Amino acid sequence: MNTATSAPGRTTQAMMAAGASAMALAVGCFGLAGREAAAEDNVPPQASAGRDAAQPARSLRGMEDSAIPARRPRFAREEDYSSAKDWSIRAENLVPHGRSNPLYFPLIPGHRHIFERPDHPDGNFRMETIVLDELEPFDIPGIGKFNTAVVQEEEYIDGILIQRSRNWFAIDRTNNNVYSFGEVSWEITSGGKPEFLGTWRAGEPDGKGVAGPGMLMPGKFVVGDRYIFDGSASEAHGGSENMEAGMTVTVPAGTFENCVRVREQNLMDLRDITDKVYCPNVGIVSDTSDGKLVASDALPPGHPGSDVSSFGQFLRNPVPYTPPVAKVTTGQAQAIALQTIPGRVNSVAIERKRGKSVFTVEVITPAGKEQDVFVDIQSGEVVGTD
């Protein structure tokens, strides 16, 4: 499993022996789409020579975007990734809770962990994740009836709750694969009220066919394997590629060894590429979008990174927030946005971006692409585009 070291350099050895055998599973053949060893990160694989799957351990003290070469899509089509049709998922093998996958966080009711990203462009970002003591039932043709765990994520910017989602996960007890079967999410308004944001469920129509399960982490990690991680072509669609193994990574929660790196490619927006690092016994520790692990109760008691007492602090003691009064009208914001990106306005909403309250103006360009323009609600300044 994992050797975890706190920032001052103390090492936790208790789970090393079991981890060695768990990581040895990675040499097995998982049979997923694509078995090339990950080549240069920013070079499509057909243009590179590749390298052996066994990677030398290296220290990575940060996973900020600047710490990684510029990322370009390596595999941009759904058929480049394995999917549910390749995985032989059966209801009788699925369990909602467990800790059998050595690289994923424990799907045990009550498990909690915390991520933070102080350099997030919208402000000081924090995400709190908890496995709820609830089950979500599914009945999917070709798979059967089963229950999933319910994993809740709450996202904060500068202490203000901005989004809540509930994700439905399950483990295949025959091979330790961790699967996702969908999610439901809400945006939290400036008044503190949740507004439905979106949902998808495996086995149900999604406007572009029927949504399928995604794989979050295979039971056997093989560099080069690729698999769909979100299975709704209209709501959330993406593929993962196992990029690297044998890493040593330091994050605020500690130093971890025998870690792996996974690249997630959004298949709905090819510009959206995320690198994640997972480590034995603790699960995900670094995410180029969401930041780094600061605390997890998956770590042994007494380890500095195991203190999750701050979990829920902003719900217990809400940060006072009075939204600034808009001095720019919606019409003016639309006109400013169209001067920046010509096209037609599809929607306008007030959100917090780049550390400011802005009109998010979604523009459909003449080429049919969607682009967001962020207009400061007080000054009318364009503070960014996406």
Q: Note down pLDDT in tens along the chain; length 386 residues.
A: 333 333 333 333 333 333 433 433 333 333 344 433 454 565 555 433 333 333 334 444 434 443 444 568 899 999 999 999 999 999 999 999 999 999 999 999 999 999 999 999 888 999 999 999 999 999 999 999 999 999 999 999 999 999 999 999 999 999 999 999 999 999 887 667 888 988 999 999 998 999 999 999 999 999 999 999 999 999 999 999 999 999 999 999 999 999 999 999 999 999 899 999 999 999 999 999 999 999 999 999 999 999 999 999 999 998 887 767 889 999 999 999 999 999 999 999 888 776 678 999 999 999 998 999 999 998 999 998 98
Answer yes or no: do 197 and 241 share one domain.
yes
User: b/e per residue, 300-332, with b = 16+ CB within 10 A?
Assistant: eeebbbbbbeebeebeeeeeeeeeeebebebee
Q: Which amino acid is located at 88 in the chain?
A: S
Q: Determine phi and psi for 277, rounding to 5 degrees.
A: -115, 130
Pairwise CA distance, residues 13 & 4, whole Å = 7
Q: Which residue is listed with tokens 């590749």? A: 50
Structure-token pair, residue 44 = 């499509």
Q: Which amino acid is located at 86 in the chain?
A: D
Domain end among 273, 293, 316: 316
Domain end among 316, 340, 365: 316
User: Taking the alpha carbons of 293, 67, 156, 106 in that order, is the dihedral positive or negative?
Assistant: negative
Answer yes or no: do 368 and 297 share one domain.
no
Identify the pLDDT of residue 326: 86
Is position 322 within any domain? no
Pairwise CA distance, residues 16 & 281, whole Å = 10
Answer yes or no: do 258 and 356 share one domain.
no
> Rounded to two decimals, what is the model's pTM?
0.79
Domain end among 316, 343, 360: 316
Domain assignment of residue 277, given as a range: 4-316
CATH number at residue 367: 3.10.450.40
Identify the pLDDT of residue 192: 75
Domain count along the chain: 2
Answer yes or no: do 205 and 236 share one domain.
yes
Identify the pLDDT of residue 12: 36
Answer yes or no: do 197 and 336 share one domain.
no
